Amino acid sequence: MGLFSNRKTVFVDSDVLVVGGGMAGCGATYESRYWGRDKKVVVVEKANIERSGAVAQGLYAINCYMGMQWDENKPEDHVRYARNDLMGLVREDLGYDIARHVDSTVHKFEEWGLPIMKDPETGRYLREGQWQIMIHGESYKPIVAEAARKAATEVYNRIMVTHLLMDKTKANRVAGAVGFNVRTGDYYVFRAKAVIVAAGGASHIFKPRAVGEGMGRTWYAPWSSASAYALPILTGAKMTQMENRIVLTRFKDGYGPVGAYFLHLKTYTENAYGKNYEPTWYENTKELVGDYIDRHPVPTCLRNHAFLEEIKAGRGPIRMVTKEAFQDPHKEQVGWENFLGMTIGQAVVWASQNIDPKETNPELTTSEPYVMGSHATCSGAWASGPEDYAPDAYQWGYNRMMTVEGLFGAGDTIGGTAHKFSSGSFTEGRIAGKAAVKYVEDLGNDVPQVSEAEYESLEKVIFQPLETYKVGRNEITGGTVSPSYLLPISGLQRLEKIMDEYVGGISAHYTTNEPLLTRGLELLGMLKEDLHHLGAEDLHQLQRAWELQHRVLASECVTHHTMFRTETRWPGYYYRADHPKLDDTDWHCFTLSQYDRESGNWAMEKAPVYHIID
């Protein structure tokens, strides 16, 4: 293989392999070690776990904390909240499970050294809202990473996992993973008894609003490259609610968070003419979704819907009224530190445009769509629920095990469980970690075996873009245009354009229909074929090539799910213009998909929504 002929193959054995060292992966690692004292626990991360995942930059709030010790909330309350926000459709068993454990996670974070703000009068954690507590979280990830590093047998940074490996002795059972070191180019074969996928959700599948230098300032991290979905999809694991993309109302251009502004600082929105526009769209929304608009709090997508309609009516920009609140120096400090703690770019935008919220009410915008399982939507893998109360239809094995044996997930990876955020993702990692240790214990000597033929053929596929580039580059004098290869950035831009125009992105006002989706799938199919011709100049580009592969597969899944659900369940997130209303008769259910790796076909089905909580 010319330049890379010195590539080594490194074999790593483990009992529990954690793919992705973000919040969920760190939780999985900690818990796997706690329960599996004699187990080999290995973490593999494409960046550096000290600052990886969505929390790399820090956070200013923990958005999922019950406060059971002070009778603030019960886990049931959180399930009701998430169900209401998602228009009725959540896996209540999984959501309850996270909610009942999450307080112990947060208490550990505080013990480890995370500065949590306190209410000076009560001594309790300072609440931003009913579920949120405020933190000084610049070092949230380094603190959590310290706990994970101490728990892990080995941590492998800078290795991009591209595929999972299946057991050659038993069908539908996982046996490990493969990937490459983005610094050395060495090929890694991880052999594992259990695998926990704790990778990131999907940014950059829809065209972002900024397409120049600022394309990286997406709301969700640009390194969240849909590995959370592509890795399980390729094994044939069933996925759920992949159509349930999220659109965020945020401060313009920097996508700075609004939670503290609404909840703690008590700022509010108005249209360009100083009017509260939400009541204007009440009847319109009721027509679409019925009495879901009367629920409290109003579901996030429906508030987005009013925002979008007001903009379309020509009364934008929508602004956040900050001038009153920011006269209070304490609130002003909270407002700025909120950005500096988690979205520094918004502070830069305001400094650069002379926006001082004490004097100017800043503009808001709606983001491009993202697909994720940890924030306020619930795309991800279909997972088995907790043994003590999950309905039979939701239980086929160990807690958080997917429909593939030995394959677990947490965080963005697991579907049906909205509103877990950072603390809930870590908690779900803990749940998966304990379950994986139990699974490994129960395996005994029935150890999965990787297939040499499988990892050898994957090696060729994984490194092919380097070879393709090298050969093709000799054909041309220079530049980025080649008849023989496609650069990862070009493939990414094509993907974003297809998803934007055909699957409900910003330029289509988040709207799509069956003919558009059909055409989108045709174009995605051609893009998938073209990915065989990806060219990578170096190992960094090879990482981008595989991130693109993961994004394209996840996008195809999103498009099939969007096609399957013939209703508009979440106006404000996306619209099926050919089925503009919410339809509880036919669609009060989950959508499930399963990918067939051999044929490339997707099988769609419905699964029941069981309500466990009143």
Partner 1 sequence: MPTFVYMTRCDGCGHCVDICPSDIMHIDKTNRRAYNIEPNMCWECYSCVKACPQNAIDARGYADFAPLGHSVRVLREPEKGTISWKLIFRDGREKNFESPIRTTPWGSIKSAEEYAAPSKEALKSQELAHEPDALNIEKLPALTPDQLKQGVI
Q: Name the minimum Å distance from CB 545 to partner 1.
A: 13
Which one of residues 75, 256, 373, 409 is an interface residue with partner 1 (CB under 8 A)? Answer: 75
What x-and-dash track marks residues 189-228 binding partner 1 by CB under 8 A?
Answer: ---------------------xxxxxxxxx--xxx-----
Q: Looking at residues 413 to 432 of the shown chain, list those that interact with partner 1 (rule: CB under 8 A).
A: 427, 430-431
Q: Looking at residues 371 to 410 of the shown chain, list those that interact with partner 1 (rule: CB under 8 A).
A: 386-391
Of 215 and 577, which CB lies nearer to partner 1 in the complex structure?
Answer: 215
Angle formed at CA 456 by CA 530 and CA 18, multiple of 5 degrees: 90
What x-and-dash track marks residues 553-592 binding partner 1 by CB under 8 A?
Answer: -------------------------------x---x----
Which one of residues 122, 284, 327, 352 is an interface residue with partner 1 (CB under 8 A)? Answer: 352
**DSSP label at 173?**
B
Which one of residues 42, 155, 182, 199 is an interface residue with partner 1 (CB under 8 A)? Answer: 182
Which one of residues 9, 122, 353, 507 is an interface residue with partner 1 (CB under 8 A)? Answer: 353
Of 191 and 204, which CB lies nearer to partner 1 in the complex structure?
Answer: 204
Which one of residues 441, 454, 578, 583 is an interface residue with partner 1 (CB under 8 A)? Answer: 441
DSSP for 321-356, please give it.
Answer: E-TTGGGSHHHHHHHHHHHHHH-HHHHHHHHHTT--
Of 31 and 243, which CB lies nearer to partner 1 in the complex structure?
Answer: 31
* Distance (Å, whole) CA 26 – CA 31: 9
Which one of residues 18, 151, 311, 462 is an interface residue with partner 1 (CB under 8 A)? Answer: 151
Angle formed at CA 160 by CA 227 and CA 471, multiple of 5 degrees: 110
DSSP for 233-279, please give it.
Answer: HHHT--EE-TT--B--EEETTT----HHHHHTS--EEE-TTS---GG
Q: Name the minimum Å distance from CB 169 to partner 1.
A: 25
Report CA Rg, the chain.
Answer: 23
Of 420 and 560, which CB lies nearer to partner 1 in the complex structure?
Answer: 420
> Which tokens sit at 444?
């005994």
Residue 606 interacts with partner 1 (CB under 8 A): yes or no: no
Residue 363 interacts with partner 1 (CB under 8 A): yes or no: no
* Distance (Å, whole) CA 141 – CA 92: 28
Of 98 and 233, which CB lies nearer to partner 1 in the complex structure?
Answer: 98
Residue 186 interacts with partner 1 (CB under 8 A): yes or no: no
Q: Looking at residues 102 to 141 of the shown chain, list those that interact with partner 1 (rule: CB under 8 A).
A: 103-104, 107-108, 112-115, 136, 138-139
Residue 253 interacts with partner 1 (CB under 8 A): yes or no: yes
Of 99 and 508, which CB lies nearer to partner 1 in the complex structure?
Answer: 99
Give the bridge partners for 250, in sequence order: 365
Which one of residues 333, 480, 507, 601 is an interface residue with partner 1 (CB under 8 A)? Answer: 333
Which one of residues 234, 263, 523, 612 is an interface residue with partner 1 (CB under 8 A)? Answer: 612
Residue 434 interacts with partner 1 (CB under 8 A): yes or no: yes
Q: Name the minimum Å distance from CB 130 to partner 1.
A: 18
Which one of residues 143, 272, 443, 577 is an interface residue with partner 1 (CB under 8 A)? Answer: 143
| Contact between residue 58 and residue 342 where contact means Cβ atoms under 8 Å apart | yes
Residue 102: Cβ-neighbour burial (10 angstroms; 0-12, 13-18, 19+):
buried
| Contact between residue 58 and residue 23 where contact means Cβ atoms under 8 Å apart | no
Residue 6 interacts with partner 1 (CB under 8 A): yes or no: no
Of 109 and 187, which CB lies nearer to partner 1 in the complex structure?
Answer: 109
Residue type, 537: E
Which one of residues 24, 56, 86, 548 is an interface residue with partner 1 (CB under 8 A)? Answer: 56
Q: Name the minimum Å distance from CB 452 to partner 1.
A: 30
* Distance (Å, whole) CA 385 – CA 477: 57
Q: Looking at residues 223 to 252 of the shown chain, list those that interact with partner 1 (rule: CB under 8 A).
A: 223
| Contact between residue 4 and residue 146 where contact means Cβ atoms under 8 Å apart | no
**In 3D, which of 177, 334, 316 has the Cα closest to residue 249?**
316
Q: Name the minimum Å distance from CB 434 to partner 1.
A: 6
Which one of residues 10, 234, 263, 344 is an interface residue with partner 1 (CB under 8 A)? Answer: 344
Residue 65 interacts with partner 1 (CB under 8 A): yes or no: no
What x-and-dash track marks residues 483-522 binding partner 1 by CB under 8 A?
Answer: ----------------------------------------
- List CB contacts of 513: < 8 A, sequence separation 6 or more: 576, 577, 578
* Distance (Å, whole) CA 180 – CA 46: 9
Window contacting partner 1 (CB under 8 A); options: 12-20, 171-179, 309-317, 436-444? 436-444
Q: Name the minimum Å distance from CB 530 to partner 1.
A: 21
Cα pseudo-dihedral 18, 19, 24, 25, rounded to 10: 50
Q: Looking at residues 522 to 551 of the shown chain, list those that interact with partner 1 (rule: CB under 8 A).
A: 540, 543
Q: Name the minimum Å distance from CB 88 to partner 1.
A: 6
* Distance (Å, whole) CA 258 – CA 544: 31
How many C-beta atoms surround the C-beta of residue 508 within 10 A?
A: 19
Query: Helix (H, G, I), strand (E, B), or coil: what is residue 565?
Result: coil
Number of residues that bind partner 1 (CB under 8 A): 95
Q: Three-state secondary structure along 351-405?
A: HHCCCCCCCCCCEEEECCCEECCCCCCCCEECCCCCCCCCCHHHCCCCCCECCCE
Q: Name the minimum Å distance from CB 582 to partner 1.
A: 10
Q: Looking at residues 448 to 487 of the shown chain, list those that interact with partner 1 (rule: CB under 8 A).
A: none
Which one of residues 40, 78, 83, 331 is an interface residue with partner 1 (CB under 8 A)? Answer: 83
Q: Looking at residues 7 to 46 of the shown chain, list those that interact with partner 1 (rule: CB under 8 A).
A: 30-31, 33-35, 37, 46
Q: Is 51 left (phi over 0), alpha (psi -120 to 50) or beta?
A: beta
- 523-527 own/partner pairs: CB under 8 Å, 24+ apart: 523/498, 524/495, 524/498, 524/552, 524/555, 524/556, 524/559, 527/491, 527/494, 527/495, 527/498, 527/552
Of 210 and 443, which CB lies nearer to partner 1 in the complex structure?
Answer: 210
- List CB contacts of 328: < 8 A, sequence separation 6 or more: none
Residue 101 interacts with partner 1 (CB under 8 A): yes or no: yes
Of 194 and 516, which CB lies nearer to partner 1 in the complex structure?
Answer: 194
Which one of residues 14, 52, 132, 241 is an interface residue with partner 1 (CB under 8 A)? Answer: 52
Give the bridge partners for 321, in sequence order: 268
Angle formed at CA 338 by CA 246 and CA 24, multiple of 5 degrees: 55
